[in-house]
Structure 1
């Protein structure tokens, strides 16, 4: 079997997850050393191990070193099998990142699949379930992917306990897509999720968002999550343009006021609106892999993040594509070609 060697010290968990996805999609195995070497707690944490085990199940893979704390891993993929799967992180580790690891392989399968994922659904360092459902999957749909997400239970850090149901249909061939113009602003909506915390916190966050962005501050946009498995607070802003949708989130944390949470989130949204790029920072990174699988595509974005650059270099190890980015209208235009 062809094997690729990866230096895990050059990135975090995303580098590992991208390698797993690419291995499943190409049938090429890999070894990775010094996993998350520059992180405060190096090696495989529970959510990373869940992603490894999920990829191994979906792709009938053999693994060596798949255990908590491991800093080296060998992954040898087999055939990808459609079916019904259940994956649980056993903590507040992100269930959405586990989903993104296996989803491309499953849309390449020859039959539909259904997944039940348990863990964190709204984590500070991962895409939220709202982002997946309302930004990521709609972008993939424009490339031909048919997938849907149903959020059954919210899961916040540190309690976890979230549940998502995902269905994905086979996609014979991804269609190249260019995301270069977002079109006219159609609407902007905010909502705040509260779990086990006083509702006035959410009202204060919403008020700041109303003052800075002009969204509707009505209390109906503050949602109490029940059952409350633990404390949690997330403010979300959906920005809908004629041709594109982005979802931004801000997370409450101990020692940070509701006003600060709202102001930080409003700053993210205004930075996006003031730029000319179609795709936001987080979605830009996540579109690289499906575009590479399609063999072509392009998008405009405000900035080239370190995540985007490292992800592009990794993808080029597995697939016969090249990424390029050039300054464009105050931001960047990213293209992929064979």
Structure 2
């Protein structure tokens, strides 16, 4: 049984999600110790429990130690099978973090995996659903990943209640090579808000401020392409708002986002996302800092080489975890390049 120290690297939930996903794929039994040992509230939290349970259901794994505040789990996978999964997080726990854990092994299932999941679509400390379905999925599709992710209802903190359907087909992804981003073709986005904030024009104000910053900065960079940000309102269970932006380039997609919260001006939400996207664009890298850590399990499996705007602690941690399963992923810190094979 492979033993992984859950306190290493970023020392959080990502170690758990990546470890159980890679265990499912490789068929290796894994023991994860010192779970979140250096955090103020060490051990498993409900969010981590739900992610591990979801991957366990996908591969019919036997799991020991699956309890709130547990510091050790043992995960013994069986065969990854297709079929339907219904997951109810019960709170505004992140839908995207659970989908991240499922998306890697699900492509190895013997048949299509259909997932319906309820929880938070746009919550702190996790990628917004729009980033996952337009940036992450868009980049993976270029290498042959075959999935559809559909938003049925948004879920904001604290009640959640968002609904997402994901359909993941068996696939064999090809080598991933993203050394240059190419020219920017257009910038798209979605600015969203609870219907109760429609009279305050929250979605419009987020979008308008983001668009203004994007257009001005892109012109300064010599880019005179379309900036199209869609505005939408939904009757969610809790009030909330957010904006996700992405640049479509010749070779890739680059994303950025920001969430609204009580007391935070809508203009600031749009400003944060737009300035983050411009910063990513100015790096000339084909992957933004968030996609850099998400792509690592796929890079381990398919081989290849990618350049990121920045190598984060999350990315280094993901490399540490996948390599313990026998893969050979490396990082060139000087060039912000991640490579495998």
Shift of 1:41: 2.5
Question: For each residue in 1:97-142, what CA deviation from the matched residue of structure 2 results, as whole angstroms up to 9, or x when unmatched?
Answer: 1111122222112211211111111122112221111111122112
Distance 2:334 2:91 in 1: 41
What is the DSSP-based 3-state SS (H/G/I as helix, E as strand, rest coil) of the residue aligned with 2:80?
coil
Aligned to 1:166: 166
Distance 2:20 2:109 in 1: 16
Which of 303, 314, 317 matches 1:307? 314
5 Å matches for 1:175-194?
A: 175-194=174-193
What is the DSSP-based 3-state SS (H/G/I as helix, E as strand, rest coil) of the residue aligned with 2:205?
helix
What is the DSSP-based 3-state SS (H/G/I as helix, E as strand, rest coil) of the residue aligned with 1:44?
coil
Aligned to 2:5: 7
Shift of 1:210: 2.4
Shift of 1:265: 1.5
Aligned to 2:288: 280
What is the DSSP-based 3-state SS (H/G/I as helix, E as strand, rest coil) of the residue aligned with 1:114?
strand
**TM-score, length basis structure 1:** 0.92
1:178–1:297 contact (8 Å) kept in structure 2: yes
5 Å matches for 1:60-79?
A: 60-79=60-79
Is 1:263–2:263 an aligned residue pair? no
5 Å matches for 1:19-168?
A: 19-168=19-168
Is 1:243–2:244 an aligned residue pair? no
Shift of 1:174: 2.3
CA root-mean-square deviation: 1.8
Aligned to 1:213: 214
Q: Of the two structures, which has the highest relative contact order with CA contacts closer than 8 Å and spacing of 6 or more?
A: 2
CA separation of 1:266 and 1:60: change in aligned 2, threshold 3 A: same
User: Can you give the 5+ residue segments of structure 2 that lack an aligned partner in the other structure?
Assistant: 217-225
Aligned to 1:320: 327
Distance 1:184 1:207 in 2: 24
Shift of 1:260: 2.4
2:155–2:236 contact (8 Å) kept in structure 1: no
74-83 vs 37-46, which moves further: 37-46
1:120–1:160 contact (8 Å) kept in structure 2: yes
1:8–1:16 contact (8 Å) kept in structure 2: yes
Question: For each residue in 1:183-229, what CA deviation from the matched residue of structure 2 results, as whole angstroms up to 9, or x when unmatched?
Answer: 111111333111133542333322321221129899x833111x231
16-25 vs 48-57, which moves further: 48-57
Shift of 1:96: 1.4
User: Can you give the 5+ residue segments of structure 1 that lack an aligned partner in the other structure?
Assistant: none
Distance 1:62 1:190 in 2: 41
Distance 1:57 1:217 in 2: 41
Aligned residue pairs total: 328
1:147–1:169 contact (8 Å) kept in structure 2: yes
Shift of 1:84: 0.9
Which of 226, 233, 237 matches 1:224? 233
Distance 1:284 1:223 in 2: 29
